[in-house]
Amino acid sequence: MGVLPSSGNVPTDRSFPMTRSLLAALESGSDPLDQKIWTIAAVARSLADLIHAGQPVSRQRLSRLMTVHFGSDDSSGAWSLRDAYDALELAQVTAFLQRDNGGNDDAQPDGALLAITALAERLPTQSYRSERQIDMQQFSTPAPLAFLASVAAAITPHDVVLEPSAGTGMLAGFAKAAGARLVLNERDPLRAGLLAQAFGDGVTRHDAEHIDDLLDAAQRPSLVLINPPFSRSEARGKDRHAGARHLRSALARLKPGGRCVAIMSPAFAHDGSAASGYEAVAALVPPRVEITVEGRPFAKHGTSISVRLLVYDKGWQGTPLRVTVNSVDALLPHILSLPPRLGGEEPPDPSQPAGRRHSAGNATRNARPVTRSLLSGKKGAIAPLPKPRPIVAIDGTVEPLAYTVRDTPLSAAEQVGIYIPWRLSRMEIAGGKAHPDQLVESIAMSSILPPEPTYVPMLPRCAVAAMSDAQLETLIYAGQAFERDLPGLYAPNEAGTLLSPDGNGEPYRMGFFIGDGTGVGKGQQVAACIMDQWSRDRRKAVWISKSAALIEDARRDMRRRYGASLFQLDR
């Protein structure tokens, strides 16, 4: 099962992350996603005040602020620590750009970098990762690196700046501060909403791999700032050339004479493991400068990967200058010595060397970002937000799930590309809600009719109200499988990892494989299966995960539904 993207692209078998809070969906009133966006934006404003005042923000303080604004802690399911980190990133943009730089030392790039680095060090490291973040490779650019990318871009108030994977605005904020007009695209609906709140402009939600094909023809950026997913494609899943596809499409849209500053994987190099992707991009626009940044530049955002910062000037031809530095701080001198932007619509004489900068009097010299306020009442500011609605009381009454079996199963919906929109074909669930995102399945999968359901789960009313029809269908078929034994008798091997047929063995219960894509809510489905068994007085369950980093997701899913606790056993 996957999700049908809302941008009109051909759907994929990968699901788009579901960001709506299930418990928030129990509330009446405004759309749950809008409510969440407003609340996270309000948290960001509160955090920005703390950061601007020079106060450190610990993970505990961040969680307390989220709890105050949402009216409940993360165990309610209304928010996650990943949401809190999104608020923290938005707050950094706000705080950095509210600084009064008139005549201060940090108005110069070196002073500004020191100040930004110091502020970033007072913030918690993003040690928690969500399954959605890992799957979609949502690692925002840390503020010091984002600042240096903006210096490399030499942004002016006359520029139109495209950021195809804008995230929470860490790169876009510095372009806004320089007075440029922004063209923002972000696939994630929650982050797109936060960007719209922060910058006051429309945000498209295209698959950035095809940004040149999907953007309005009138949008002709003179600058591109891009930090794409390095190896994750919405259409292909794992793809070592995903970042190259994003970058090439953005460069195709860039005006002749325009500049692109890209933050790419260390594999994206002429001699790297993604060399073919690198060469495909260079065939369109060759890089002018390539700087490999070691020393864990993304450490504060939860990953130890090194990166490459590449500068492209569309129309320039020549051999790129290649440099390696061991830290973000060591990057600044090379950024300050970059050649000026080309400018103009016609390709210039390619005689200008890659590493030489024109004199300070040249009209196209590098411009430093103007660090005026981004969210302090000017156009694009976050408007006063409505107070979050309190979460209503939850009905924990346990009762059988009410559904009826269709006499005639529904036929498949109309094919879209190579996919079929999913629908509940064999049953009708009383009060069942449609899934927040439109789901799809392969043509082969849709051609196989699900078995007739016979199992009736036992769930609290609050859990039924918080689940979608797709999740409830999974629960029914999983419970139906659990009620049966595998045919025959089996004996385990000594390690307990394999069953073999044995006439003197024991019967074993049947399992159930959930093959849904990311965002359908597998963790929530597993929690519901455990809850169903719990309601039948089967009070012990073992939840095995591929990654210990997902323990907080599992705990959240259990607490939000049944108040049950999970205890980690791997240490």
Q: CA quadruple 158, 164, 167, 171: dihedral positive or negative?
A: negative
Per-residue confidence (pLDDT) for residue 445, from 0 to 100: 84
pTM beyond 0.85: no
Query: What is the rounded average pLDDT of the residues 112-124?
Result: 89
Per-residue confidence (pLDDT) for residue 147, from 0 to 100: 95
Across 39-43, 55-59, 299-303, least confident range: 299-303
Q: How far apart are CA 46 and CA 204, in angstroms?
A: 27
Contact yes or no for 143/167 (Cβ under 8 A): no
What count of Cα atoms within 13 Å lies in the side-chain half-sphere of residue 486?
16
Per-residue confidence (pLDDT) for residue 180, from 0 to 100: 94
Residues 6+ apart with CB under 8 A from 100: none
Evaluate if residue 221 carries a pLDDT over 90. yes
Distances (CA, A) of 120 to 56, 116, 233, 247: 9, 6, 30, 27
Per-residue confidence (pLDDT) for residue 3, from 0 to 100: 35
pLDDT band at 494 (very low <50, low <70, confident <90, very high): confident
Contact yes or no for 168/191 (Cβ under 8 A): yes
Distances (CA, A) of 173 to 111, 167, 178, 378, 394: 18, 11, 9, 14, 40
Q: How far apart are CA 465 and CA 528, in angstroms?
A: 12
Q: What are phi and psi of 82, to 5 degrees?
A: -65, -40
Catalogue all structural domains in the chain, each as residue range(s) with its CATH number. 24-336 (3.40.50.150), 398-542 (no CATH)
Q: How far apart are CA 330 and CA 148, in angstroms?
A: 11
Q: How far apart are CA 184 and CA 196, in angstroms?
A: 9
Query: What is the rounded average pLDDT of the residues 537-552?
Result: 77
Q: How far apart are CA 52 and CA 251, in angstroms?
A: 36
Residues 6+ apart with CB under 8 A from 384: none
Amino acid at 161: V
Q: What are phi and psi of 192, to 5 degrees?
A: -60, -40
Distances (CA, A) of 3 to 16, 501, 538: 6, 40, 34
DSSP category for residue 105: G
Q: How far apart are CA 557 and CA 566, in angstroms?
A: 10
End-to-end CA distance of the chain: 34
Q: How far apart are CA 76 and CA 543, in angstroms?
A: 20
Per-residue confidence (pLDDT) for residue 107, from 0 to 100: 63
Evaluate if residue 32 carries a pLDDT over 90. no
Evaluate if residue 235 carries a pLDDT over 70. no
Contact yes or no for 521/16 (Cβ under 8 A): no
pLDDT band at 487 (very low <50, low <70, confident <90, very high): very high
Q: How far apart are CA 260 and CA 224, in angstroms?
A: 4
Per-residue confidence (pLDDT) for residue 129, from 0 to 100: 61
DSSP category for residue 26: G
Where does residue 357 rank: exposed (0-12), middle (13-18), buried (19+ CB within 10 A)?
A: middle
List the Cα angle 391/396/402 in 5-degree steps. Answer: 110
- The three-class DSSP label of residue 519 is coil
Per-residue confidence (pLDDT) for residue 356, from 0 to 100: 39
Per-residue confidence (pLDDT) for residue 267, from 0 to 100: 87
Evaluate if residue 560 carries a pLDDT over 90. no
DSSP run (H or E) holding 308: strand 307-313
Residues 6+ apart with CB under 8 A from 548: 568, 570
- The three-class DSSP label of residue 373 is coil
Q: How far apart are CA 46 and CA 44, in angstroms?
A: 5
Q: How far apart are CA 94 and CA 186, in angstroms?
A: 19
Q: How far apart are CA 227 and CA 255, in angstroms?
A: 19
- The closest of 163, 249, 210, 191 to 10, measured between CA atoms, is 210
The 10s digit of each residue's pLDDT in 406-461 is 999 888 888 777 788 888 889 999 888 888 777 888 888 888 888 999 999 998 88
Q: What mean pLDDT is reported for the chain?
A: 80
Q: CA quadruple 521, 527, 530, 532: dihedral positive or negative?
A: negative
Q: How far apart are CA 162 and CA 52, in angstroms?
A: 28
Q: What is the DSSP string of 50-64?
A: HHHTT----HHHHHH
